[in-house]
Amino acid sequence: MYQVVGKPNSRVMRIIWMLEELGEPYEIIVAAQHTDEVTKGNPGGKMPVLRDGGTIIPDSVAICTYLADKHGKLTAPAGTPERGRQDAMTQFCVDEVEGALWTAAKNDFIHPEEVRTPEIRKTCEHEFAKAMRTLEKHLADREFVTGAAFTVPDLLLGHCAGWAKGAKFSIPEGPVEDYFARVRGRDALKRAVQRGKEATEAAEAA
């Protein structure tokens, strides 16, 4: 059984969602950043961490890719043109979509107050809006970003869409909004959210 370490209201949700999509058994070890539970798997103290028997893997993108490759689902085979496009869309999500959200969050509440630059929010909103326009072009007439199949970058982009909504970034109407509705309406995400809620409540009650 996999163990997912971290707080579900973070990038940890990506791993819970991924495991629900795969139908693999797992348990959630609720732990905050920089606690021993997390730093044992990631010296930088960042969530999430995945334990797979004696194997420990940090970083949400690396974990999702590892799980997809291991189980042969939600991914194109390595070394194929389809995988090249998939990896390109994963990198697009990390660089252009998540990058804007993460920079805004760090300067809103994560960094110590004395080093924050709140004014950068305007730049982040500009970058995010530009990324949404690019995403619409990538989608074209596709159901998902790599075609007809839901793959790793769709999951990552879907998580970012929820993040953006919570952070009050604007999602454009039309194809992008419809795409995010398809991705975030998946039953696996609904199950993941419920599992995360239950794990958090249990940890708080303990």
Segment 47-70, tens digit of pLDDT: 999 999 999 999 999 999 999 999
* pLDDT reading at 88 higher than 90: yes
Gap between the terminal Cα atoms of the chain: 22
Nearest-angstrom CA–CA distance, 162 and 129: 15
Q: Are residues 163 and 150 in the same domain?
A: yes
Domain holding 12, by residue range, is 2-74+188-205
Q: Are residues 173 and 92 in the same domain?
A: yes
In the predicted model, what is the mean pLDDT of residues 107-134? Answer: 97
Q: Are residues 88 and 163 in the same domain?
A: yes
Q: Are residues 182 and 195 in the same domain?
A: no
pLDDT-derived band at 114, boundaries 50, 70, 90 = very high
Q: Are residues 47 and 85 in the same domain?
A: no
Q: Which phi and psi (to 5°) does residue 47 adopt? A: -90, 155
Q: Are residues 179 and 90 in the same domain?
A: yes
* pLDDT reading at 120 higher than 90: yes
pLDDT-derived band at 206, boundaries 50, 70, 90 = confident
What is the reported pLDDT for 64?
98
> Six-digit token pair at 86?
């998939």
**Number of folded domains that form the chain:** 2
Q: What is the mean pLDDT of the chain?
A: 97
Q: Are residues 150 and 115 in the same domain?
A: yes
Q: What does pTM read for this prediction?
A: 0.97
> Six-digit token pair at 135?
């995403």
